[in-house]
Amino acid sequence: MHDIEPHYKWRDKYVAAEDKRSPFYGRKYDEFQYSQKIYNYYIHPQWDSFGSQTLYTKILFVDYEEGYAILEMLGEWNDCITNDVMYLKRELVDELTPKGIHKFILICENVLSFHGSDDCYYEEWYEDVRDEYGWVCFLNLLDHVEQEMKDTRLQDYVNLGGAFNAINWRPHKPKNLCQAIDALVNGEVRRLGM
């Protein structure tokens, strides 16, 4: 797992550690010392911890004027035992929504497993963004992760599965990605590497 790096091609446009409004502002990264782990596996030092012991993130891009954030996730998402969504909601989402972020894209292709509990934090997240015509979208879930999320009924609050699992997001600019997902969420036909 130590060789799975967060996406870095947008770093010329945005770096969370340099953004004064980011929850990760001022973070320093040691490229030579691997200290963070998921269970017994070291992970790349560019991933950010937000309180979970098994789930990490990287804020890839934020546009405060357009009101969206793109986060990449890594690890095991465990709401059942460690309530990871609580940490995600309180430490990241609740920091970004007062700053105008109401559209959240979470890239989940490196979320290796999901253990659901209740949907209270997802419902709260949905309530926080819907008045601003916002949404939450999980991209490129593994099949078994998607199924567990659906078994927990997260699709009532989060856009996931189907076309959201077939998006080739890497070659695109953040704004184009957000516009394409917004079109999908709102039922418009718009293709972006699908």
Write the pLDDT tens digit of every residue in 40-77: 889 999 999 999 999 999 999 999 999 999 999 999 99
The identity of residue 138, as a single letter, is F
CA distances from 22 to 14, 85, 168, 178 (A): 11, 19, 26, 19
- Whether 10 is in a domain gets the answer no
Residue 144, phi then psi, degrees to nearest 5: -70, -30
- Whether 4 is in a domain gets the answer no
Domain residue limits at 75: 16-185
Q: Which long-range contacts (CB under 8 A, 24 or more apart) does 120-124 make?
A: 121/79, 121/85, 121/86, 121/88, 121/89, 122/85, 122/154, 122/156, 122/157, 122/158, 123/156, 123/157, 124/89
Give per-residue pLDDT as tens, 116-172.
Answer: 999 999 999 999 999 889 999 999 999 999 999 999 999 999 999 999 999 999 999
> How many separate domains does the chain show?
1
- Whether 8 is in a domain gets the answer no
- Whether 193 is in a domain gets the answer no
- Whether 124 is in a domain gets the answer yes
DSSP state of 47: S
- Whether 132 is in a domain gets the answer yes
Question: Is this model's pTM higher than 0.85 or not?
Answer: yes
Distance CA 17, CA 60 (A): 11
